[in-house]
Amino acid sequence: MNYYGEYVTRLIEQFGKLPGIGGRSAQRLAFYVLNMPKENADALARSIVEARERVKYCSHCCNLTDTDPCPICSSAKRNKNQIMVVESPRDMAAYEKTNDFHGVYHVLHGLINPMEGVGPEDIRIRELLDRINDSTEEVILATSSTVEGDTTAMYIARNIALRNDGVKTSRIAKGVPVGGELEYVDQVTLAQAFKSRFDMNSGKDSEDEDN
């Protein structure tokens, strides 16, 4: 039975389509929006529409941005020859909060997952391989410590070795729990994982190698 009428029901249904939002949460969000001051509700609606219309992929790193290139790729302070590969914009934001990485990023927007029908061609691996050249010093594979994250990292490392044999490829190491997703890991742990990364080709610890 429709208890609320067409418009309220439609609003609840739309909130219910968001990931992680069940029926009760959708109702709470809908009622919260309906009880907001009109100017706040209008601002929320405009933000959604404007973000959907104006946000795009950075042509360099594939991060979500409303400017191209994005602020990180266009910054003169970043080392363009060191690339950290992450699964999502949320993972990139998590690493930025550590203030330990001063290179640039590449956002895959997913991981290789054959069980879900996601192959290398379904995420931004080709764009990564195309941007790697003789000037690239290091590619840091910072995907999550999951089966999918490890599979993606190994696939990328293997293809970099085939195409750009002189480019160093490393993987974030200790500190990130097995099965852990980066966006939920604290900043200190992420910083330690970055500093303790290891060379995927030689097996040597990158931090030791730099000393």
pLDDT of residue 211: 46
- What confidence score (pLDDT) does residue 31 get? 96
Distance CA 180, CA 147 (A): 10
Angle (CA) 73 78 81, round 5°: 85
Domain boundaries, the chain: 6-54, 59-210
From first to last of its 211 residues, the chain has per-residue pLDDT tens of 567 889 999 999 999 999 999 999 999 999 999 999 999 999 999 999 999 999 999 999 999 999 999 999 999 999 999 999 999 999 999 889 888 899 999 999 999 999 999 999 999 999 999 999 999 999 999 998 888 999 999 999 999 999 988 899 999 865 555 445 556 556 656 666 666 676 776 655 555 444 4
Give how far Cα 27 sits from Cα of 8, 14, 31, Å: 9, 10, 6
CATH topology of 6-54 equal to that of 59-210? no
Report yes or no: 176 and 190 within 8 Å, Cβ to Cβ.
yes
Phi and psi torsions of 69, nearest 5°: -70, 165
| Contact criterion met (CB below 8 Å) for 12 and 27 | yes
Q: d(Cα 156, Cα 171) in Å, to the nearest integer?
A: 11
Please tell me the distance from the alpha carbon of residue 210 to that of residue 140, in angstroms, as a whole number: 14
SS3 140: strand
Topology of the domain covering 59-210: Dna Topoisomerase Vi A Subunit; Chain: A, domain 2 (3.40.1360)
- Cite the beta strand spans of the chain per DSSP E: 56-57, 64-65, 79-86, 103-107, 138-141, 168-171, 198-199
pLDDT at 24: 94
Give 6-54's CATH code, choosing from 1.20.81.30, 3.30.70.1050, 1.10.8.420, 1.20.1630.10: 1.10.8.420
